[in-house]
């Protein structure tokens, strides 16, 4: 019988324990005759055979136990199958999420770019409209089961993508008479732009998992910090997820574990940069807009559907999809446990 295997995602995984068949120990020195009894001629009558005079008895059987997980020796001696303690995973995560904005600060100039390093101010005539984040994360993760229940993991990865942001500028409030006047108002300018993301991410988290031969349940918590070298798009992500599902043995070393659950995925992003418009005024001038804005997930909750395929005690694959009202997330992973 097998225990549960680790489900390897950013912040994913489960391990469980299955009660194995308990076999009573057989003394080494008392060998059992399983062939026909030479005296009575009857079969299937086990008889203890004394060792020959002067024969050297074999030493008692010795078992080796891993240092981790803590308490693993006691679990094995009680008949439990436990997960291999160490693991390494390669992961690919793609996320699309609608965002809310706050703390929009700008410097704006007509016909030129605002000076770099100048003050950025919150102004009422500039507001944000569309905000949507697209990101892809490739990550390497290492994990360890400290005991048969809790798992700790850490990962490093690369986040690439972009944030689509729409800006609405009230030109009449920004550029008054004589360029914009009641007799000939300038109206509003829609200025969509894209802030690129090219960051290095660091993830830390923990998993609590339990299961039997037929089901599992797991709760995971992860925190990711994604840092931009140019300090333009720092990101912080909090991921809390619960998963539960049945387990199906497909062969001696193959186990399929489909599951469902719920995920709280909150992402905070700070983006900054410079964007230029085309001609907006009668004299052909446009505007230059230097900006900085904080974005956060609009609706962080999503449902989970996925499956883990344990190919052996060493290898496992996982695929998972998260779907929310204004977000979707897809995860693929491959895990090796030495």
pLDDT tens digits, one per residue of 194-222: 888 888 999 999 999 887 778 899 999 99
Is 286's pLDDT higher than 90? no
Distance CA 148, CA 207 (A): 11
pLDDT of residue 226: 86
Q: Tally the C-alpha atoms within 13 A of residue 324's C-alpha that lie toward its C-beta.
A: 21
Q: Is the CA virtual torsion 177, 183, 184, 185 positive or negative?
A: positive
Segment 279-287 mean pLDDT: 74
In the chain, where the domains are located? 80-336
Average pLDDT, the chain: 76
Q: Is the CA virtual torsion 280, 282, 285, 287 positive or negative?
A: negative
State the pairing for strand pair 215-228/233-246. Answer: antiparallel
Residue, of 226 and 94, whose pLDDT is higher: 94
Residue, of 4 and 235, whose pLDDT is higher: 235
Please give the radius of gyration of the chain, using alpha carbons only, rounded to the nearest integer: 31
Least confident interval from 44-53, 92-101, 313-322: 44-53
Is 100's pLDDT higher than 60? yes
Long-range contacts (CB closer than 8 Å, 24 or more residues apart) made by 319-324: 320/9, 320/12, 322/263, 322/265, 324/299, 324/300
Q: Return the percentage of the chain with pLDDT > 90, whole number.
A: 30
Is 41's pLDDT higher than 50? no
Comparing CA positions, the residue from 184, 187, 139 lying closest to residue 160 is 139
Only one residue has tokens 């995860």, namely: 331
Is-contact 30 37, C-beta < 8 A?
A: no
Is 136's pLDDT higher than 80? yes
In our burial notation (b when 16+ CB lie closer than 10 A, e otherwise), range 83-104 reads bbbebebebebebebbbebeeb
Tokens found for residue 243:
């998963």
Tokens found for residue 78:
């009680």
Residue-level length of the chain: 338
Comparing CA positions, the residue from 80, 83, 126, 81 lying closest to residue 101 is 126
């Amino acid at each position: 019988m097998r225990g549960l295997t680790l489900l390897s995602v950013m912040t994913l995984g489960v391990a469980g324990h299955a009660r194995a068949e308990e076999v009573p120990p057989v003394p080494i020195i008392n060998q059992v005759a399983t062939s026909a009894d030479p005296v009575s001629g009857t079969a299937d009558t086990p008889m203890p055979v004394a060792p020959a005079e002067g024969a050297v008895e074999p030493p008692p059987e010795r078992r080796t136990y891993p240092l981790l997980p803590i308490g693993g020796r006691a679990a094995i001696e009680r008949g439990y199958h436990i997960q291999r303690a160490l693991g390494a995973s390669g992961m690919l995560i793609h996320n699309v999420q609608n965002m809310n904005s706050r703390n929009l600060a700008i410097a704006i100039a007509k016909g030129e770019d605002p000076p770099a390093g100048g003050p950025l101010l919150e102004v009422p005539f500039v507001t944000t409209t569309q905000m949507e984040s697209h990101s892809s994360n490739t990550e390497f993760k290492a994990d360890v089961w400290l005991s048969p229940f809790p798992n700790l993991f850490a990962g490093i990865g690369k986040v690439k993508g972009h944030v689509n942001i729409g800006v609405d500028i009230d030109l009449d409030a920004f550029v008054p008479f004589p360029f914009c006047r009641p007799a000939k108002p300038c109206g509003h300018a829609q200025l969509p732009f894209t802030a690129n993301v090219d960051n290095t991410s660091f993830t830390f988290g923990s998993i609590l998992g339990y299961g039997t031969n037929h089901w599992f349940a797991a709760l995971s918590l992860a925190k990711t910090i994604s840092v931009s070298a140019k300090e333009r798009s720092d990101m912080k992500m909090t991921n809390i997820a619960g998963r539960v599902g049945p387990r199906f043995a497909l062969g001696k070393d193959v186990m399929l574990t489909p599951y469902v659950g719920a995920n709280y995925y909150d992402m905070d992003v700070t983006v900054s940069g410079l964007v230029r418009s085309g001609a907006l005024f009668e004299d052909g001038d446009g505007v230059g807009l230097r900006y900085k804005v904080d974005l956060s997930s609009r609706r962080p909750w999503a449902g989970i559907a996925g499956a883990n395929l344990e190919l052996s005690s060493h290898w496992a694959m996982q695929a998972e999809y998260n779907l929310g009202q204004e977000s979707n997330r897809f995860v693929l992973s491959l895990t090796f446990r030495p």
